[in-house]
Amino acid sequence: MLTRKLMQALAVLVILLSGCQGVSSSHSGTTEKTIDLSDKIEVTVRRVIDGDTFIADVNGTEERIRLILVDTPETVHPTKAVQPYGKEASAFSKKTLENQSVYLEYDKEKRDKYDRLLAYVFLKDGTSFNKILL
């Protein structure tokens, strides 16, 4: 059962990654173009909650930000146990984002049902954090 779920998750990741083009990542060793940050919103990450959610200062207001197209294993869910690789995803996000300036790009839906801002997140050099986390 776990193997089947893992294979399904990997298949979804492959599909998502195949749609990510034109984004550079020094973390992945690629030499693709970086994203133009001039039309993005610069924020400061205050605290990482888990692999796909963090708190940032957005124009003077603390906001919860949820990464679009990324769903890392749970580590702080109120009704679920810590899932495999959840701690690693959280540690990676913490190491990469905490106390850093990043850039947000919103999609059509700006907030989710939990009132979190939904965003694509870009590092200072223009690389997509959503992509490198995958």
Q: Which residues are catalytic?
A: 66, 74, 116
Give the torsion sign (CA, 35, 51, 18, 68). Answer: negative
| Beta partners for residue 53, in sequence order | 50, 66
The DSSP letter of residue 128 is B
The Cα–Cα gap between 35 and 33 comes to: 7
